[in-house]
Amino acid sequence: MMSQSHRSTRVIAAAGLDEIISSLAREGYRVIGPRLRDDAIIYDEINSAADLPRGVLDEQSGGRYRTYREGEAYFGYVVGPSSWKRYLHPPRQVLWRADDGEGGVSIRAEPIAGERYAFLGVRSCELAAIATQDRVLMAGAYGDPHYAARRNGAFIVAVNCGRAAETCFCTSMGTGPRAHGGYDLALTEIVTGENAAFLVEAGSERGQSLIEGLSSREANDGDVEAAVQVAARAASQIKREIDREGLSELVKAKHDHPRWDDVAARCLNCANCTMVCPTCFCTTVEDVSELQSAATARVQRWESCFTTDFSYIHGGAVRSSPVSRYRQWLTHKLGTWHDQFGQSGCTGCGRCITWCPVGIDITEEAAALRGG
């Protein structure tokens, strides 16, 4: 990682986005970025800037999400239901395969994929989420080799936020709206009328090398100030917050608080919050068989603490009631995650609020526990 004092800061025109994408593709990266699909911003493979959701904004609130067209910004949206976790820690991962051949049963581990990803459009809260997943899935003696291979090979192009959704609360979690590290390149979009330009900052030697190949000019004080104002505007729009002071110990001490029953009466146990959360990492394994052969495989797939089966052991489920499952999720996310990993499991992206069908708000629930 480069030191702040040695980071290159340049300005590129909108055409520079195509240069970035094509340069990464030539270096062997599969470029993943935002696209509009089924009226939602998702992350998928992109081949040029024409694939980006230019002029698309989003409106979010508890249990509500919609996109609409206004302006010319390439990155005017905030975040959608998709997260980069889908590529680094995919919903399904084969662990090993077994074949019953002439020489008997043979078992072989699934090869580590050699594919390299370049992520374009990573927001600051998402950078924090990736760093959180790094601690969960790479640190210690039992890291996930598949995750590590994808993560170590990834090239990250961050984009500083110019807008905030009603559900955002990254400022109170210390994760945004401006990126301060964890990227190879960081872009700040400065839109004037129908013209877009980008302040580009290098965060690594790889990023610096890519900048040197772009058609660009040196950033001046006005460019830097304009970029600062972009992030300041987004920060000023954020109204939700979580008071983190003593929160970890507080939620663990509120096991019998009546608020748990109140929220459980509204919770559908649909697991949407865990599926869209960029840091939730729980999985289970299942053995699958091929119908036309004797081959089998053990597959790891995403799981959620909101399902009864997740805590099922001999004799029944440990957390059989909705109240116990919601309490487990929130207490872990804001409390015991600190005990395991030395930090919060929440980055303030607000996805769990937006994609909860009944609009349960984690900031509201945390405040209720503190107030009672």
Q: Of 161, 5, 6, nearest to 75 (Cα)?
A: 161
How does pLDDT run along the chain (372 residues), one tens digit per residue? Answer: 454 434 679 999 999 999 999 999 999 999 999 999 999 999 999 999 999 999 999 999 999 999 999 999 999 999 999 999 999 999 999 999 998 877 788 999 999 988 999 999 999 999 999 999 999 999 888 899 999 999 999 999 999 999 999 999 999 999 999 999 999 999 999 987 677 899 999 999 999 999 999 999 999 999 999 999 999 999 999 999 999 999 999 999 999 999 999 999 999 999 999 999 999 999 999 999 987 777 899 999 999 999 988 888 888 888 889 999 999 999 999 999 999 999 999 999 999 999 999 999 999 999 999 986
DSSP string, 34-87: EEEETTEEEEEE-SSGGGS-TTEEEEEETTEEEEEE-SS-TT-----S--THHH
pLDDT value, residue 281? 95
Single pTM value for the model: 0.94
| CA dist., res. 213 & res. 200, Å (int) | 13
Domain positions in the chain? 4-91+111-236, 247-288+301-371
| One-letter amino acid of 179 | A
In the sheet that holds 155-159, the strands lie side by side as 40-45, 29-37, 116-122, 155-159, 185-192, 195-202, 9-13, 217-218
| CA dist., res. 25 & res. 23, Å (int) | 5
pLDDT value, residue 7? 65
Q: Of 5, 48, 20, nearest to 187 (Cα)?
A: 20
What's 207-218 look like in SS3? Answer: HHHHHCCCCCEE
Contact 34, 75 (CB under 8 A): yes
User: Which residue bears the tokens 């936020």?
Assistant: 161
pLDDT value, residue 5? 39
Q: Of 20, 76, 85, nearest to 48 (Cα)?
A: 20
| CA dist., res. 18 & res. 211, Å (int) | 13
